[in-house]
Structure 1
Amino acid sequence: MKTRKYLLPVAAAGVLALSLSACAGGGGGGGTSGGGDAAANMDGRGPITYVQGKDNNNVVRPVVEKWNAAHPDQKVTFKEQTDNADQQHDDLVQHFQAKDAGYDVVSVDVVWTAEFAAKGWLQPLKDKMAIDTSKMLKPPVDSATYKGTLYAAPKDSDGAMLYYRKDLVPTPPKTWDEMMGMCSIAKSNNMGCYSGQFKKYEGLTVNASEAINSAGGSVLDKDGKPNLNTPEAKAGLENLAKAYANGEIPKEAITFQEEESRQAFQSGKLLFLRNWPYAYGLMATEGASQVKDKFGVVALPGKSGPGASTLGGHSAGISVYSKNKATALDFLKFINSEETQKFYATQGSLAPVLAALYDDQELVAKLPYLPVLKTSIENAVPRPVTPFYPAVTKAIQDNAYPAIKGEKPVEAALSDMQKSIETQSK
């Protein structure tokens, strides 16, 4: 994918790349408060470094240049990491463990917040370090919050949508059962009915979690304990297993990541597709697309209305070891400004965190999927919020995969998932 405007957003790239890097232990400022490190240098001003993964969308450099032109004595240096989420995560861990004051502001995937906050590496954004989140969508704010304290400023968000063939399906489905009831349309047109991303990788965690959440269940309860031995969790995973068994999810979908599933829909082989917003522009503009003017998007179908998309996105956190936290805080507010958020959306197809921008007609004209994406994000649920995320995602993949393939009963898969998470999260 080389199309600049519609490059895979950073949020979705994280989902694609994030695998099972083990949580590195030790180091840090001691617990969620960060101890003395969190209390130090809150009035510090001067040059800072901003650390983020590869700037494929070309949004970071122009924003940094604009900041630097207005703040010659508090310049930001952009340290660009690789485009691999595992490597980004491990790089941050190494520098946090070394108490490196040179990593002032860091881009944090939504699934890293709990881990980094629990280890005391992120500056709590409260009291004199507080930021205004009142105009932001609630799920991105929740994803940047750990144990009731905000630890990062939501920067960009993401949510999945259901792509459908509007030339074949005049009224899109609102529920899972409605969608499955339309699979006869797919059969009569000699195409697959539905796919998400079911290969054994991070995308499977996303899809399995969405299925469970959309059926009214949850992977973890509000206290962070596994909650998988429930009728709702069973119904959610069974939806996928049954659809795969009877061919409504085509057999090849067990090998699909984001791009394979997009190509299948784009080439006319699927009636319905769960994917991220990045796919919209590619399917609408690529020369090889067979569905250019033939598809629409709606919120993911749930049990009785919109389903629960997995929340994507990144936040910007301040290291407790930064010497210039006052400057870092101002830079966070600059990233959250309406002007910067609009630029992220139009330049990089990154979902804004400011709610009002989803109703901005100028933006909607450029990005027609924004109203649907807003519904998706408003109903989104983060991947399990836990300091033990790598163990949790492994447990989900190791058990959801054989359950969908029909190699393990759904109930047994959920029971094993529960036990594995309990064992690994101690």
Structure 2
Amino acid sequence: MRAQRHRGSASGRRRLGLAAAAMVVGSATLTACGSDDDGRAVLNWYINPDAQETVQQIAEDCSTDDYSIEVQLLPNNATEQRTQLARRLAAKDSSTDLMNLDPIFVPEFASAGWLEPFTGEMADQVLDDDVLEGAALTATWEDEVVVAPQWANTQVLWFRKSLAEKAGLDMSKPVTWSQIIEAASDNGATVGVQANKYEGYTVWLNALVMGAGGELVSNTEAGKDAKIEIDSEAGRAAAEVIQQLVDSDAAMGDLSVSNEGTVLGPMFAEDSPGTFMVNWTFAYKNYEDTAGDQLDDLGWARYPATVEGEESRPPIGGIQVGVGAYSENKEHAQEAALCVTSPEAQEALAVNNGLFPSRGSVYEAQGLVEAYPEELLALFRESIDGAGPRPQSAFYSQISSAIQSTWHAPSSVDPESTPQESAEFLSDVLGGRRLL
């Protein structure tokens, strides 16, 4: 059963020596399973390349008299990260002790039996009440706690305050997609989204559907027999938003190939009124470094609502730390997983690298309060807590690819036909009747 979540920190956690300056870069060369020069067990921790210096320091501080943690780098691309780990675990590799996982890959790895579940008091510590709900939703599979949330990511609505004021929008209150598209169109501005044929497009579509009270698929633990939900009122509401943007003057010229990076430029472009843009938390540090005197004109608000009166469901991303099922040191690895996801570790990742905590209490840490505006921290925390995860399915890759195939390009989306066509195609893909 899923562990009961209770408030409080895990007992016996180490206090990490994680300062915001002078981080030490360590070696990331491959280490085979076995012992180090001191006779300690070696735990290999496979990480995505984000925040390498901070992660190296976390690994050093979480090493004990019984084991040392050695950092091993995975490729930059999330799909390649998944492929490398999957190959190791399919071969029952005993040297894969700890691994960083994108939340969308957790169900696949757990369903394959590649993750060692946390049980008892340890499961309670991994998912106590301090863990924000959006992050907690992606940490379990079939009522078992299979990964420990480390950092979380979400999207908010970024905008020029002067643009919103000119458009007459009160950004202290929830706004809808329809409102910001109209406001941008009427004022020579744009709306930035991620609409290339890639995972970012699925992220947008999933948030639109969930914001309308629906899901792409449900009963995902049934695997290929999951219930396909996209042909629904929520699916049509999502299609209406996309169609409205495509048909408006607010659509960027490169809409069909837009991504997280391409939409950044128009915000403070010369002779431009700016943009309304949905994007991940990194956008603040990007503009802090590039906007200069115009930074004071940067505003932020909760992700737009798909349907007026319905609360939006912002996207959720981040990193979960799992323990390999074939590790020769599973007990040590799970103890280490608690340490590398501790509040101290999460504070260091946020302050040093802009990777935001999955634990609510860390948003009150002094380091974060000094590094970010208080109201922005509150928005990030609220958005992660209220986020809507992408389908938690062992067949997520097929689901995402099938949706991208039928909803791209955005100019082809029709509320009357696209949701039905995508449901039929996804059903055929999962049923093995059609290929991607």
User: Is TM > 0.5 for Structure 1 vs Structure 2?
Assistant: yes
Task: Please tell me whether the aligned partners of residues 174 and 306 of structure 1 are also in contact (alpha carbons under 8 angstroms).
Answer: no
Distance 1:326 1:184, change over 3 A: closer
Residues 1:160 and 2:162 aligned together:
no
Task: Please tell me whether the aligned partners of residues 163 and 273 of structure 2 are also in contact (alpha carbons under 8 angstroms).
Answer: no
In structure 2, how many angstroms separate the alpha carbons of the residues matched to 1:60 and 1:217? 37
Residues 1:181 and 2:179 aligned together:
yes
Q: Which residue of 2 aligns with 1:120?
A: 113
1:60 counterpart (44, 52, 55): 55
**Cα shift at 1:290:** 7.8
Residues 1:385 and 2:392 aligned together:
yes
Q: Which residue of 1 aligns with 2:188?
A: 190
Give the aligned residue type for 1:151. Answer: V
Q: Which residue of 1 aligns with 2:260?
A: 258
* 3-state SS of 1:322 partner: coil
* 3-state SS of 1:112 partner: helix
**Residues 85-117 of structure 1, C-alpha deviations (whole Å, 9 max, x = no match):** 111110001100110000001111100010001
Structure 1: state its 5+ residue gaps: 6-44
**Cα shift at 1:129:** 5.1
Runs of 4+ in 1 over 4 A off after TM superposition: 173-176, 182-185
**Residues 43-95 of structure 1, C-alpha deviations (whole Å, 9 max, x = no match):** xx832111112144522111112123xx1430111111121111111000110
Give the aligned residue type for 2:171. Answer: P
Q: Which residue of 2 aligns with 1:296?
A: 299
In structure 2, how many angstroms separate the alpha carbons of the residues matched to 1:229 and 1:146? 26
Once the two structures are overlaid, the 10-residue window that deviates more, 206-215 or 259-268, is 259-268
Task: Please tell me whether the aligned partners of residues 110 and 313 of structure 1 are also in contact (alpha carbons under 8 angstroms).
Answer: yes
Task: Please tell me whether the aligned partners of residues 178 and 244 of structure 2 are also in contact (alpha carbons under 8 angstroms).
Answer: no
Task: Please tell me whether the aligned partners of residues 359 and 371 of structure 1 are also in contact (alpha carbons under 8 angstroms).
Answer: no
Once the two structures are overlaid, the 10-residue window that deviates more, 214-223 or 108-117, is 214-223
Q: Which residue of 2 aligns with 1:25?
A: none
Matches within 5 A, 1:83-122: 83-122=76-115
Distance 1:395 1:385, change over 3 A: same
In structure 2, how many angstroms separate the alpha carbons of the residues matched to 1:96 and 1:172? 48
Once the two structures are overlaid, the 10-residue window that deviates more, 267-276 or 109-118, is 267-276
Distance 1:98 1:266, change over 3 A: farther
1:218 counterpart (196, 203, 215): 215
In structure 2, how many angstroms separate the alpha carbons of the residues matched to 1:187 and 1:321? 56
In structure 2, how many angstroms separate the alpha carbons of the residues matched to 1:131 and 1:61? 27
Q: Which residue of 2 aligns with 1:81?
A: 74
Distance 1:240 1:143, change over 3 A: same
Distance 1:201 1:229, change over 3 A: same
Give the aligned residue type for 1:297. Answer: W
Matches within 5 A, 1:217-256: 217-223=214-220, 224-256=226-258
Distance 1:345 1:264, change over 3 A: same
* 3-state SS of 1:168 partner: helix
**Residues 379-412 of structure 1, C-alpha deviations (whole Å, 9 max, x = no match):** 211111111111111111112223x31x252332
Q: Which residue of 2 aligns with 1:42?
A: none
**Cα shift at 1:351:** 1.0
Q: Which residue of 1 aligns with 2:171?
A: 172
Task: Please tell me whether the aligned partners of residues 49 and 76 of structure 1 are also in contact (alpha carbons under 8 angstroms).
Answer: yes
Task: Please tell me whether the aligned partners of residues 243 and 414 of structure 2 are also in contact (alpha carbons under 8 angstroms).
Answer: no
In structure 1, how many angstroms separate the alpha carbons of the residues matched to 2:413 and 2:182? 28
In structure 1, how many angstroms separate the alpha carbons of the residues matched to 2:299 and 2:164? 10
CA RMSD across the alignment:
2.2
2:288 counterpart (281, 284, 293): 284
**Cα shift at 1:191:** 2.2
Matches within 5 A, 1:385-424: 385-402=392-409, 404-405=410-411, 407-424=412-429
Task: Please tell me whether the aligned partners of residues 211 and 240 of structure 1 are also in contact (alpha carbons under 8 angstroms).
Answer: no
Distance 1:181 1:105, change over 3 A: closer
* 3-state SS of 1:216 partner: coil
Q: Which residue of 2 aligns with 1:206?
A: 203
1:139 counterpart (120, 134, 139): 134
Q: Which residue of 2 aligns with 1:49?
A: 44
Percent identity for Structure 1 against Structure 2: 24
Give the aligned residue type for 1:152. Answer: V
Task: Please tell me whether the aligned partners of residues 157 and 279 of structure 2 are also in contact (alpha carbons under 8 angstroms).
Answer: yes
Task: Please tell me whether the aligned partners of residues 51 and 349 of structure 2 are also in contact (alpha carbons under 8 angstroms).
Answer: no
Number of residue pairs the alignment of both structures matches:
376
2:275 counterpart (263, 271, 289): 271
Give the aligned residue type for 2:80. Answer: Q
* 3-state SS of 1:136 partner: coil
